[in-house]
Amino acid sequence: MSKNAIVSFKGIKDINAEIALTGSKSESNRALIIGALSKGLVKVNNLSDAADTVILNNILNQVSGHQDTASCLTVDVGHAGTAMRFLTAYLSIANGLFNLTGSGRMKERPVKLLVEALQQLGAGITYAGQSGYPPLNISNDFKQATRNIKIQGNISSQYLSALLMIAPSLPQGLSLEITGELTSRPYLEMTLSMLEEAGIRHRWEGNTIHIENQDFKESNLIVEPDWSAASYWYSIAALADQATVILPNLKEKSLQGDSKIREIMVPFGVRTSSVPNGITLKSGTSVAIQEVLDLKDCPDLAQTIIVCAAAKGLNLSFTGLETLKIKETNRILALQQELAKIGVVLKEENEVYTLNCDQLSFPEKITFATYDDHRMAMAFAPLSLFIKEIEMEDYQVVEKSYPDYWKDLEKAGFTVKEV
C-alpha cells in the first residue's frame, strides 16, 4: 500500500549540504547489459541502488541461472521502462523461452518499433496481449535474417541503445539507420562510449551506425554518480534564498546528457564550479531567459526545470517534450494537473509548451499527486521552500531512481514525515 509524507522546510531558506549521489541509473543499466553480454569479461563498479537497476540486475542473474531452457521463464520488470526495452533485445538472443511482462502502466507503454526491428533481424517475438505493447513472448530460435535495420529516432533512444548493445553478439553484426530526427542523442552516445570502453568498435556514418560481430574485452566500467539526481539539487539551489551544495564525484566531462543541467540552470541563478572531489552549486541572481528551451536531448530534466521555472514565476517556453507522454505516466498531463494547484498553466501548441505564471500563488498547504512517477515527486518537493506543508502522495515512488532522496533532503534541512 502506498504511503504519503509531509514535506516542509522551517526557518531561514539557506541550504548548506554535501550530498553523495547514487550511481547513474542510465549508465548502470547499460553496464549491466554489456556485462551480461560479455559473459563476465566486463565488470561493473558503483552500480546505482535505484529500484530499476536492482530489478534489472536481479533479472539478469535469474536469466543466467535458468537451466531449463525448454520451459518458459516469466520475467517481470514492474515499472522499469529501461529494463523492458533493454531486455526485449537481450532476451531475443538469449538461450531460453521468456514471457517478458511488467506493471499495468508498463503494458500501456509501446514497444512496437523495437519489436518490429528485432523481428526483422530474426528474433522470435510475439505479443502475449495487445499488439504493440508488453507482455511479450520471446523464443530462443534467433536466426539472423539481415544486418540492415531502419528505426525512427524520435520515439525512444532506448530502442536504439537496446539494438546497439546486442549488435556485437549478432553473427552478421548490425547497421542501424536512424530515420527522422534523433531524440536524446546524448543517451545514444553514452551507449556507444560504454561499448567502446568494453572493447567494441563502431562507425557512425551519416544517419547509420555500424557495429561488426566482435568480442568484448576484459574491462571495468565505473559508473559515475547520477546527473538526473543532481538536477533536483540545482532546482533547490535556484529556489533557496542562499545555497551551497557539494556533489562529490560528478565529472565535468560526463557521458550523461543530463549534465546539461549545469548550463540550463545558469540563467536560473545557479553557478557550478569544479572542485577536486566533484562539483559545488551556488545560488545567485537569475537573469532573463528569452529563448525557447529545447529539452530534446535531456527530457528527463523537463519536470525539474518546468516546476522550478513555474515556482520562480517565469513564463518560459519549451520544446522537445513529446516523449514525455509515453513515460511512467503522461508527464505533460501530470504537470498540467499539478501546476494548476499553484495557479500555473502549461499550455501546449504545435509541440511548444509555454508556462503562464500570472496567477501563481502558494497556499499554506497542498497535496501533490505523483502518478507512479518518481520524477514528479522529486520535481515538486523543492516547492516546500515556498509552501508551508506539502503532502506528497506515494512518496516512496522515488525508489525507482533515487532511493535516498528524502534522507538527502533531511540532510539539507527539510523535514519529511510519513503520514
Average pLDDT estimate for 84-103? 96
Query: What per-residue confidence (pLDDT) applies to 227?
Result: 96
pLDDT tens readout for residues 137-166: 999 889 999 999 999 998 889 999 999 999
Average pLDDT estimate for 287-312? 93
Q: What percentage of the chain's residues is helix, strand, coil (to nearest 5)?
A: 35, 25, 40
Query: What per-residue confidence (pLDDT) applies to 101?
Result: 98
Query: What per-residue confidence (pLDDT) applies to 156?
Result: 85
Round the CA-based radius of gyration of the chain to a whole number and report it. Answer: 22
Which residues, including other chains, have CB under 8 Å from residue 131's CB and lie 6 or more apart?
112
As to burial, measured by CB atoms within 10 angstroms (0-12 exposed, 13-18 middle, 19+ buried), residue 370 is buried
* Average pLDDT across the chain, whole number: 95
Q: Is the pLDDT confidence value at 133 over 80? A: yes
Q: Is the pLDDT confidence value at 326 over 80? A: no
pLDDT tens readout for residues 161-202: 999 999 999 999 999 999 998 988 999 999 999 999 999 999
CA quadruple 267, 368, 392, 361: dihedral sign: positive
Query: What per-residue confidence (pLDDT) applies to 290?
Result: 81
Cβ-contact 343, 315 below 8 angstroms: no
Query: What per-residue confidence (pLDDT) applies to 75?
Result: 97
Query: What per-residue confidence (pLDDT) applies to 1?
Result: 73
For residue 281, which phi and psi values (nearest 5 degrees)?
A: -100, 135
User: Which one has a higher pLDDT value, 290 or 88?
Assistant: 88
Domains in the chain: ranges and CATH: 5-23+224-418 (3.65.10.10), 25-222 (3.65.10.10)
Q: Which of 300, 373, 394, 408 is catalytic?
A: 300
Kindly indicate the confidence band of residue 324, based on its pLDDT and cuts at 50, 70 and 90.
confident
- Tell me the C-alpha distance between 296 and 319, whole Å: 7
Query: What per-residue confidence (pLDDT) applies to 340?
Result: 98
Instruction: With H, G, I as helix, E, B as strand and everything else as coil, classify residue 148.
Output: strand
Reported as type and span, the H/E element at residue 325 is: none
Query: What per-residue confidence (pLDDT) applies to 215?
Result: 97
Which residues, including other chains, have CB under 8 Å from residue 295's CB and lie 6 or more apart?
301, 302, 305, 318, 319, 320, 321
Kindly indicate the confidence band of residue 108, based on its pLDDT and cuts at 50, 70 and 90.
very high
- Tell me the C-alpha distance between 405 and 368, whole Å: 17
Cα atoms in the 13 Å half-sphere on the side-chain side of 93 = 22
Task: List the one residue out of 332, 333, 330, 342 whose CA is nearest residue 366.
Answer: 342
Q: Is the pLDDT confidence value at 325 over 90? A: no
- Tell me the C-alpha distance between 19 and 409, whole Å: 9
**300 noted as active-site residue:** yes
pLDDT tens readout for residues 27-81: 999 999 999 999 999 999 999 999 999 999 999 999 998 878 789 999 999 999 9
